Structures are given as C-alpha cells and as structure tokens.
Chain A
Amino acid sequence: MTSLIEAGEGAAAPRTDEPVVRAEHVWKLHQLGDEVVKALVDATLTVLPGEFACLMGPSGSGKSTLLNMIGGLDRPTKGTVFIDGTDTATLSESQFAALRHDTVGFIFQSYNLIPFLSAVENVELPLMFEPVNRGALRQRALDLLDLVGLSHRANHQPAKLSGGEQQRTAIARSLIGQPRLVLADEPTANLDQRTGAIVVRLLRDLCSSMSVTVVASTHDPLVAEEASRVLRMQDGRIVSNTNQSHQPEA
C-alpha cells in the first residue's frame, strides 16, 4: 500500500517551464443533420505553469468545448493538445484517463458531487479506487476541507450543503490528487455574486499556494478579474489573448 504523502509529495511542483497546456489549431465540428456546426475553430493557446487562465465568452462561444478538449473529456476533430508535454492525440482512452488522474483536477458548474457520499468522502473520491493508505487519504481530505473552510461540514452530504459549500467541496476534490492543472468549467455560474467571489478567490489563492495551473471557462467578469491571462472567445474562435499581472491580495 502506498502512503498518500509519499505518492503525492511534490506532484504539483512545476518540473520545467514547459507549458502545462499547449493547444495547436484545435477544431471541433459537430454534424447536426446536414449541417456542420463549428464548436471550436482553429484554437491555439499556451498556458504556463502557475498561470490562472480564463476562457471568457458568451454561451456557445466554445469555451467549455475547449476546456473539455484540454481535459480529454472530449476529443478534437482536428488539431493537437499537449498536456504537460504529452501529445494527447497519441493516447488511448485509458492512457488519457491515467493522465487525467495524475495531472488534472476538474471543477464543474453543477459541482457534480456524489449525493450519497459525505463531503469528505466526495473529496476522497478520485483516490478512493487507488491502493493508498486510507488513513492518510482521509487526513488529506480533511486538510483540504479545512483549507476551503469546510472542516465543520465534513460529514454532511451534498444535499445539506449550500451551493457555495458544494463548490468549495468540489475545489477540495479537484486538489486531492495534487494535480498540476485544474480545469474549472463555469465555477461561479450557479452561485450568487458574493459566493462566486469567495469561490474564485479561494480557487486563485489555493492554486497559487499549491503551485497549480488553472484554466477556467466563464462568462463572469469577476473570474476574469482574478485571472493572470484572459482569452476571449467568440463563435468558437479565440479572438483575444491578454496577459494581466495580478498579485493575490494579502
């Protein structure tokens, strides 16, 4: 049995300055009857270690599609995505699953917590199927819940948590495997403005302190304000790519 601490130690530390994400000329086309819908058109982007990149755009602009391509939840019709230097086009589904498991954490708009598991069990979920030390796993999950301010809600099921608490639990879950990259799909979309602000700052601060790269899709200007890079999308295309220097608040 592998100690969780031994297995995960340093996993999140950037190894090189090589981009964590590099997408080159990525297209996603959907066939709808006789019509071909261009969900993603020639998208090219690079995200460096430690960046908080934000894909900004209205509904249907292709930001979630691009995020899904980066995370391997869906495959591009054309083009290549490199994650941590690995050409994902060469990977089988199971190899991509292994890459996701070791490298990527996900945060979803609708949280996607498992309803019959408690908050701490939901945080443990990505590593529950691994031969890791159960005590160490529980302790790490509790530590992460503590980091997101939810240690007092560890044994509550999702139905008894507010939207903000569920999303904070999902953030803790995304970090349990000490990923290099966290992908957040509309992380504040189901939250009120105040809770959304808390969640996005928490995400930014945690990822900064844990050296995790974040790519978030959003239409929320608040998320864009906190990001170090903003990529604006429209009709499946990346129309602008802006670096924003940002110092986390003390």
Chain B
Amino acid sequence: MIAAGLSYGMLSTRRRARELILPIITTATGAFLLVQVLSLAGSVRRQAASLGNGTEIYRAIVLISVVVLLVGVVEVAVCTTRTVTQRTREIGVLGATGVRRAPVVAALLVEPLVAALVGALVGSAVAVAGGFVLSATGVSSTSPDVAGTVVGVALAVGVSVVASLLTSAMPTWRAASRPPIRSLSSGG
C-alpha cells in the first residue's frame, strides 16, 4: 500500500511539476548560499589567519553558515506547508473514499522530497560552477576549497531533504488524520 502511495506521489509530482518551481527555487537559493559560504571558508580562513585574526573570522563563517542553514530550513518549511494546504481537499477526497492514512502521507511526501532534492542539487551545482568560473576568470581572488565544497553540497542536500521530510510529515499526517469532512470543506 505504501508502494502504491509512492507511485501515486510520483504521478502527482510529475503532473504538478509547475507547482514545484517555487519550492525548487527557494531550496536552490539556500543551497547556493550554503555551498558558496563553505566552499570559500577555507581560503578566507587562511587569508584571515595570515592577518592574525583567524579565530574570529572562522566563528563568523560558522555563524553565517548556521544562519543560511536556518533560512534554508524555514524556506523549505514554508513551501511544504503551502503544498499541504493546496492539497487539503485532495486529502479529504482520499479520506472519504477510505484510503488509509499511511499511503496518503507517503504519497504527499514525494512532492516536497523531490522539490528539496532537485532544489538542493541545482543550487549546489550553480554555486560550484559559479565559484570555479569566478575563480578561473580572476573575478574573485578567493578560490573555492574542494573539501569545503564537498561538505557544503552534502550539508545542502542532507539538510534540505531532512528539513522537507520533517516539516512536511507532521502537517501531512495531521491533515490525513482529520475527519475528511473538515478537509473537504477547506479550500484548496
């Protein structure tokens, strides 16, 4: 039944591709910033160390990274909440026809998960490509750090996926647990 839910989720994600554009863009923005900060962190830290204030700069970079991560999580949460709200009536129809809660939740988690994954990968790719192009053309004097880039991409993808699951699972579960009449009488 869960497999059937996931299959329905893939179908709805394909058909609702246009609805994924905004979540993908917002997730990509967060991922882009995170990868940019972490890929440049090593170089900035080394330059700062040579000037004698490496620790302060390192702390500032960590703080910026955490803020970017939190902003990314909030963006993902906003998008997933929007998706659940849009699909409230659909949840009501599925509940009214007696479809069980677990496959409904599985179906509705596919879309935010795909949006988070695609957004994180697109944002990371743009950040990596942009960083290397700026460095190679001499526009930026700070070259991206491979280790920092890898950590940044891993964090961007991991945090986006986990955040999308955590922030969408609860509202989806709650929506699927409500009496169907409440979902049917809601908008969306």
Q: Show the binding face of A for B, using Cβ within 8 Å.
A: 68, 71, 73-75, 93-94, 97-102, 104-106, 108, 112, 114, 116-117, 125-126, 128-131, 173, 177
Q: Which 10 pairs of residues, A with B, have the shortest CB-CB distance?
A: A101-B98, A100-B98, A116-B15, A126-B97, A73-B181, A129-B4, A129-B103, A74-B181, A97-B98, A73-B180
B71, CB-defined interface residue at 8 Å: no
Q: How far is the CA of A134 from the CA of B42 in the complex (A)?
A: 55
Smallest distance from the beta carbon of B133 to chain A beta carbons, Å? 38
If A116-B16, A131-B1 touch, whether A97 touches B93 (CB-CB below 8 Å) is no
CA distance A177 to B177 in the complex (A): 22
Interface residues of B (CB under 8 A from A): 1, 4-5, 8, 11-12, 15-16, 89-90, 92-101, 103-104, 107, 177, 179-181, 184
Residues of A within 8 A of B93 (CB): 112, 114, 125
**Contact present for B89 and A112 (CB under 8 Å):** yes
| Chain A contacts for B4, CB-based, 8 A | 128-131
How many A-B Cβ pairs are below 8 Å?
70
**B96 contacts which of A71, A93, A129 (Cβ < 8 Å)?**
A71
Report yes or no: B98 in contact with A102, Cβ–Cβ below 8 A: yes
* CB pair A99 B97 closer than 8 Å: no
Measured in the bound complex, the distance between the Cα atoms of B177 and A94 in whole Å is 9
A68 to chain B, nearest CB (A): 5
Determine whether the beta carbon of A73 is less than 8 Å from that of B179.
yes
Which residue of B is nearest A128, CB measured?
B8
Task: Other than A108-B184, A112-B92, give 17 A-B pairs with Cβ distance below 8 A.
Answer: A74-B181, A75-B179, A93-B177, A97-B101, A100-B96, A101-B98, A112-B184, A116-B12, A116-B15, A116-B16, A125-B93, A125-B97, A126-B97, A129-B4, A129-B99, A131-B1, A131-B4
CB of A71, distance to nearest CB on chain B (Å): 7
Interface centre among B4, B94, B96, B184 (most CB of A within 10 A): B96
Cβ of B100: which chain A residues have Cβ within 8 Å of it? 94, 97-98, 129
User: How distant is the Cα of A93 from the Cα of B177 in the complex, in angstroms?
Assistant: 9
Give Cα A169 to B104, complex, Å: 22
| Contact assessment for A100 and B97 in the assembled complex, using a CB-CB cutoff below 8 Å | yes
Across the interface, name the chain A residue whose C-beta is closest to B17: A116
Residues of chain A within 8 A of B90, CB atoms compared: 114
Provide the bound-state CA to CA distance between A98 and B99, in Å.
8
* Cβ-closest chain A residue relative to B180: A73
Q: Closest Cβ of chain A: how far from B9's Cβ, in Å?
A: 11
Question: Chain B contacts of A129 at CB under 8 A?
Answer: 1, 4-5, 8, 94, 99-100, 103-104, 107
Could you say which of A106, A117, A125, A129 has the most chain B C-beta atoms within 10 Å of its C-beta?
A129
Chain B residue at minimum C-beta to C-beta distance from A64: B181
B98 and A98 form a contact (CB under 8 A): yes
Which residues from chain A contact B11 at a C-beta distance below 8 Å?
Answer: 117
